[in-house]
């Protein structure tokens, strides 16, 4: 995982993640917690999303909203996003199908 901070302040794990994105052709699955329970504000999550989306705009990208079984604390409108919940399996099949579709392309 990555936190919203300058590259110079990233820890070793974050630097490895960035390096992998530079050399692989990944599918980026960006998970946003709209419930307000993740410990990171929506603003911080959105800032990181927007930074990475700009930096890696040529990669396959899936926006996922987690904890959709909880009342959202905030609303975002990322196109083609998928809402999921592991508590009631909401959206899990849709996410799996989208991953398979992208991998086959």
Per the structure, the complete domain to which residue 91 belongs is given by 7-104
The secondary structure of the chain in percent helix, strand, coil, rounded to multiples of 5, reads 40, 15, 45
> What is the reported pTM?
0.74
SS (H, E, C) 15-33: HHHHHHHHHCCCEEEEEEE
| Nearest-angstrom CA–CA distance, 68 and 89 | 10
| pLDDT per residue as tens digits for the range 28-86 | 999 999 887 888 888 899 999 999 999 888 889 999 999 988 887 667 888 889 999 99
Q: Would 97 be classed as within a structural domain? A: yes
CATH of the domain at 63: 3.40.50.300
Contact between residue 59 and residue 21 where contact means Cβ atoms under 8 Å apart: yes
| Nearest-angstrom CA–CA distance, 37 and 1 | 17
Q: Would 67 be classed as within a structural domain? A: yes
């Amino acid at each position: 995982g990555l936190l919203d901070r300058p590259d110079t302040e990233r820890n070793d794990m974050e630097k490895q993640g960035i390096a992998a994105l530079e050399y692989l052709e990944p599918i980026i699955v960006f998970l946003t917690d709209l419930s307000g329970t993740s410990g990171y504000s929506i603003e911080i999550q959105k800032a990181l999303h927007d930074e990475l989306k700009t930096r890696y705009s040529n990669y396959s990208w899936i926006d996922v909203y987690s904890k959709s079984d909880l009342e959202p604390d905030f609303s975002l409108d990322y196109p083609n996003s998928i809402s999921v919940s592991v508590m009631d399996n909401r959206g899990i099949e849709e996410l799996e199908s989208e991953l398979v579709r992208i991998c086959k392309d």
